[in-house]
Amino acid sequence: MSKVAVKNIVAEDPNCVAPNLRKDHDKGLELLKYLVLGTLFGIVFVKAEIISWFRIQEMFRLQSFHMYGVIGSAVVTGMISVQLIKRLNIKTIHGESIVIPDKVFKKGQVIGGFIFGLGWAITGACPGPLFAQIGSGYTVILVTLISALAGTWVYGKFADKLPN
Amino acid sequence: MEQFIEWIKQPWPWYVAGPMIGLTVPALLILGNKTFGISSSLRHICAACVPAGIPFFTYNWKKEAWNLLFVLGVGIGGFLATNFLANPDTIVISVDTQNDLATLGITDFSDLMPAEIFSWENLFSAKGLLFFVFGGFLVGFGTRYAGGCTSGHAIMGISSLQWPSVIATIFFMIGGFLMTHVLMEPLMKLVGF
């Protein structure tokens, strides 16, 4: 593998949604905090019934406020938090300045977004709930997850041939 | 304590769950300069397991191990909540939704997921092909093409005032509305509902 090929994910794809901008690596036990955070997140997904296929149907049929309330209040909370971090210049627990990369507009956000929307209504799940559904014992969703991995792989394979 | 456990077992309202999800954004930023996003984990798994020399999967995925641990946690959280904090009562689904779904052939509203769709018996059938294989593929392909899912675009992106994320979210919803209101019925008939 050439040195050029193995790049930082951010350098390669500025549009990546979850880049890791921490300068030094998280090692060993340090990584456990993300496991704990994910666990809390998974509990919320189940307890607020966000993993339910029915809740997603209610949302797209405009027959319940629940999912709009969840996503809307999550966005507002996130927005206030990001503003506070920026204005108070809050640093990470390691003393680094917090960096939020700008997303660049691409046609993919329209085409890919639309395709994801179709799949979201069929499966009743975005990627997060998929993991929580499997953990909850709906083991057949493993097949959906493998298909989602296949979809991701096929996108990666043809990424440079698709309009972007 | 018992009262607390009883309370926690009830389904959590949106105004509890939404802010908790929103707090994931600052939590990840403050803990380690991480930008919230879940669909990236699918890319990291591809990069770890079947990179196949594809440039899109050739990067140091180990640096993103935090993201994989996060989704592993989501699975563990699902397990814990379902096994120890489960709501003793039946899920309450909007009557309108129940009526709409009944016309499509879904009549079992006793669980979070419709048993008529999400069962292993359906795997090797047209139903399984539509709901697991086809649906899952669209989720994986679409989120990666869009550069994110509900967490990365709708929550993280809009929280940090990024207009491309607003556009992505609008198209998530357009796709979902079109599927639900136009394509779902013929597709479900096609697979034998």
pLDDT, tens digit, for every residue of B88-123? 999 999 999 999 999 999 999 999 999 999 999 999
Chain A residues whose beta carbon lies within 8 Å of the beta carbon of residue B41: 18, 127
Question: Looking at the complex, does the CB of residue B91 fall below 8 Å from at least one CB of chain A?
Answer: yes
Neighbours of B96 (CB within 10 A): 13
Radius of gyration of chain B (CA): 19
Strands, E, within chain B: which ranges?
Answer: none
Asked if residues B103 and B188 have their Cβ atoms less than 8 Å apart, the reply is no
For B144, which of A84, A96, A112 is closest by C-beta distance?
A112
Note if the pTM is more than 0.90.
yes
* CA distance linking residue B86 with residue A62, whole number of Å: 26
Which pLDDT score is estimated for A71?
97
Contact B128 A75 (CB under 8 A): no
> Which candidate from B38, B59, B180 shows the least CB-CB separation from A127?
B38
Q: Which amino acid is at B162?
A: Q
pLDDT band, very low/low/confident/very high, at B5 (cuts 50, 70, 90): confident
Confidence at residue A25, expressed as pLDDT on a 0 to 100 scale: 67
Closest Cα in chain A to B161: A79
Partners of B153 on chain A (C-beta within 8 Å) are 17, 103, 109, 113
Please say if the pLDDT value at position A162 is more than 50: yes
Largest CA distance in chain A: 54
pLDDT in tens, A34-72: 999 999 999 999 999 999 999 999 999 999 999 999 999
> Count of A–B CB contacts within 8 Å?
567
Record: contact A64-B94, CB cut-off 8 A: yes
Q: What is the pLDDT of residue A79?
A: 98
pLDDT in tens, B9-51: 999 999 999 999 999 999 999 999 999 999 999 999 999 999 9
User: What per-residue confidence (pLDDT) applies to A9?
Assistant: 47
**Length, in residues, of chain B:** 193
**Token pair for residue A123?**
């499966």
Q: Is the Cβ pair B97, A54 closer than 8 Å?
A: yes
Mean pLDDT of B150-164: 96
Q: pLDDT tens digits for A111-151? A: 999 999 999 999 999 999 999 999 999 999 999 999 999 99
